[in-house]
A and B are shown apart, each in its own frame.
Chain A
């Protein structure tokens, strides 16, 4: 039985090759977004996803000249000022963890419109009490 000539194997091999080619093409064209905290922001120049905790009071109008607040490392003290325009999720509040996309411009993190996401403080798993 000449198993090596099975068309099934040929199909699988070709498909895997095709999938890999598509994948490499995509990765080389698009790639992902680095996810950083405020303290790591200085070393990234392009677009990043910034994750951190909202500190201080948020001022301004997200539908006008922009909502302004500071974002701090989740566990750390480094922080960065943020300006954001667009929809503000219901769960956005001081002390919450949020995620924004954008880039640092002149010391201020300018977020892309509508990129603000809050983490759901759901009680699905309450933080473990020790």
Chain B
């Protein structure tokens, strides 16, 4: 069986190389049939990589410990679902998953655009082939999942902290996002190589970008929730390099999603869009490099592996080649129109882009700082949370404000009178909210106060936009308010889906601000029967109970929770002591109030011999809005992603228009 896996990977590598060479030659000499053959090679590479994945999955399910990978990441006792998730639990399997998704996306993107985009597609194929070649090469030569050994009696098992439902879903989402960014990159490079620098490559990949961006965002929120409920330190994001590695491409992709709209509408920012798509793809590669190379010390501490130099080399190659390509095509990328006014929709998009990229680059600087300071001989100097939090405020708060301003400002040039009209409501709401919050005592944190005032402004402006659109629609088509509203969204899914995503980001901002700027923490040693108070809550430590579970001894401290005299519930918080793995894990107790979004978070810090327990209790207001924002985010993205026949018709008409002068 391992031979079959190795053979499948070798075939995949061969096909990828063929797609590069034959595809490149076909595109340069305009040979249709050869180009078609290179496309088919990409499809076949997908099937080959699927075959390799099937071999590995089969070995995992059979628990065939003669596969080094299987022995390293599973054990006889490991439940079936985690045996499957062990596929991406290790480096080789992760790379294989990457390859499968990459070839799958590549094949789908090629198949979907076959008829529309022949000239660009001819060049997309070799670019996709090149990326595929890199990953297939790594799997064949550097880090094979099909290494064998004399089978040991049992495997090493999976770390208890990875034996968690989130392990099944969080990594695949991140991979979907990382790999998905390859498609817009390949089409951008294809458009440059083919000298077709109009916005068609953007339109062809719009949904791919949106999909990758959604997957990356959802993947990160899942990871944050995993950390929050399982790791049990009371937070959800710690600015760890590995977490930042996923955040950076998401920020750049967010900038890209906005700036492509300017190119589509006004034919500007062509160079900028190219740079963004290159940056997003390089950051996705950098993320993999960071998590796999161990070059930056991270809580996730991945030990040194042979992948590092290869990845670094590939990132350098991609960066140099794509920048050189963009530079050589600069005359083709000249803007058709100019920015007419600093008060216009384009201008707000431009500011939003600059802020997002600035935020991303400061994070990148923070992540790379230990390496850079070491390189200049000052030793490894790390920057920590205060650095990142500072820049999140400096760039994040203006971004929040812009999210409210953007939709209210007209394209090209906004008149002061129309601005005044559309700003009146949202600004009034924001002002009222700010004053109300100040009266309620939210002034204890000025960041929180500003963030909430801005949030109210954004929600006001989104509400205003929906109301204005619905009224206009009803005036035009008649009918009821609800049908006018449904039709409004259906006719312009991208725009109104985008507004829903904006609302989700506001919820996220409210949740993050509430749980970080207005939270409270208290640590206290309690003997059975003693009570501690935090905020409105009173917690009485009743008893410590011990339970022998299947693979761990479970200790639980039981606490009666009261708020303003009312008994709420008995909360259990404690520790599990895993027998086989000789490892202790925190099992936190969380009481969520779904009406206010507030969490009471109880950590059993230390269980003492005399029966007393050191508790760490956190009250995190509004934290549940963060998880709610994920649902809304997904909903908004789906609205924007949903195919629209009307849009397709508009596009076809547009293409015909574009093609006509090109032939002349």
Contact B90 A35 (CB under 8 A): no
Determine the chain A residues whose CB is within 8 A of the CB of B351 once the complex forms.
11, 15
Determine the chain B residues whose CB is within 8 A of the CB of A35 once the complex forms.
297, 370, 379-382
Contact A15 B89 (CB under 8 A): no
Determine the chain B residues whose CB is within 8 A of the CB of A97 once the complex forms.
301
Write out, one digit per residue, whether chain B residues 40-59 have a CB within 8 A of any chain A CB (1) or not (0): 00000000000000000000
Main secondary structure of the interface of B (DSSP, over half): mixed
Contact B301 A32 (CB under 8 A): no
Q: How far is the CA of A80 from the CA of B125 in the complex (A)?
A: 57
For chain B residues 155-183, which have a beta carbon within 8 Å of chain A? 156-159, 161-162
Contact with A123, one of B73, B362, B603 (Cβ below 8 angstroms): B73
Write out, one digit per residue, whether chain A residues 17-31 have a CB within 8 A of any chain B CB (1) or not (0): 001001100100011
Determine the chain A residues whose CB is within 8 A of the CB of B91 once the complex forms.
124-125
Contact B303 A127 (CB under 8 A): yes
Q: Which residue of B lies closest to A49 (CB)?
A: B382
Contact A126 B379 (CB under 8 A): no
Determine the chain B residues whose CB is within 8 A of the CB of A62 once the complex forms.
606
B340 to chain A, nearest CB (A): 8
Question: Which stretch (B384-392, B427-435, B508-516) binds chain A?
Answer: B384-392
Contact B379 A36 (CB under 8 A): yes
Q: How far is the CA of A35 from the CA of B627 in the complex (A)?
A: 35
Q: How far is the CA of A62 from the CA of B608 in the complex (A)?
A: 11
Q: How far is the CA of A125 from the CA of B295 in the complex (A)?
A: 13
Determine the chain B residues whose CB is within 8 A of the CB of A122 once the complex forms.
159, 161-162, 300-302
Determine the chain A residues whose CB is within 8 A of the CB of B648 once the complex forms.
none
Contact B89 A90 (CB under 8 A): no
Write out, one digit per residue, whether chain B residues 210-253 have a CB within 8 A of any chain A CB (1) or not (0): 00000000000000000000000100000000000000000000
Determine the chain A residues whose CB is within 8 A of the CB of B390 once the complex forms.
26, 30
B419 at the binding interface (Cβ < 8 Å): no
Contact B379 A32 (CB under 8 A): no
B268 at the binding interface (Cβ < 8 Å): yes
Contact A125 B268 (CB under 8 A): no
Q: Which residue of A lies closest to B232 (CB)?
A: A90
Determine the chain A residues whose CB is within 8 A of the CB of B292 once the complex forms.
125
Determine the chain B residues whose CB is within 8 A of the CB of A61 once the complex forms.
606, 608
Contact A32 B369 (CB under 8 A): yes
Q: How far is the CA of A6 from the CA of B346 in the complex (A)?
A: 13
Contact A91 B386 (CB under 8 A): no
Q: How far is the CA of A11 from the CA of B575 in the complex (A)?
A: 55
Q: How far is the CA of A31 from the CA of B378 in the complex (A)?
A: 13
Determine the chain B residues whose CB is within 8 A of the CB of A118 once the complex forms.
299
Determine the chain B residues whose CB is within 8 A of the CB of A32 once the complex forms.
369, 373, 381-384, 387
Question: Which stretch (B447-455, B496-504, B553-561, B583-591) binds chain A?
Answer: B583-591
Contact B302 A125 (CB under 8 A): yes
A78 at the binding interface (Cβ < 8 Å): no
B599 at the binding interface (Cβ < 8 Å): no
For chain B residues 381-411, which have a beta carbon within 8 Å of chain A? 381-384, 386-387, 390-391, 394
Determine the chain A residues whose CB is within 8 A of the CB of B382 once the complex forms.
32-35, 49
Q: Which residue of B lies closest to A123 (CB)?
A: B159
Determine the chain B residues whose CB is within 8 A of the CB of A7 once the complex forms.
339, 341-342, 347
Contact B342 A11 (CB under 8 A): yes
Contact B305 A125 (CB under 8 A): yes
Write the residues of chain A forming the contact surface with B, with a CB cutoff of 8 angstroms. Answer: 1, 6-8, 11-12, 15, 19, 22-23, 26, 30-36, 40, 49, 51, 61-63, 87-91, 97, 99, 117-128
Q: List 14 A-B contacts (CB under 8 A).
A: A8-B339, A19-B358, A22-B394, A30-B390, A33-B381, A34-B380, A61-B608, A63-B608, A87-B603, A87-B605, A119-B301, A120-B161, A122-B302, A123-B73
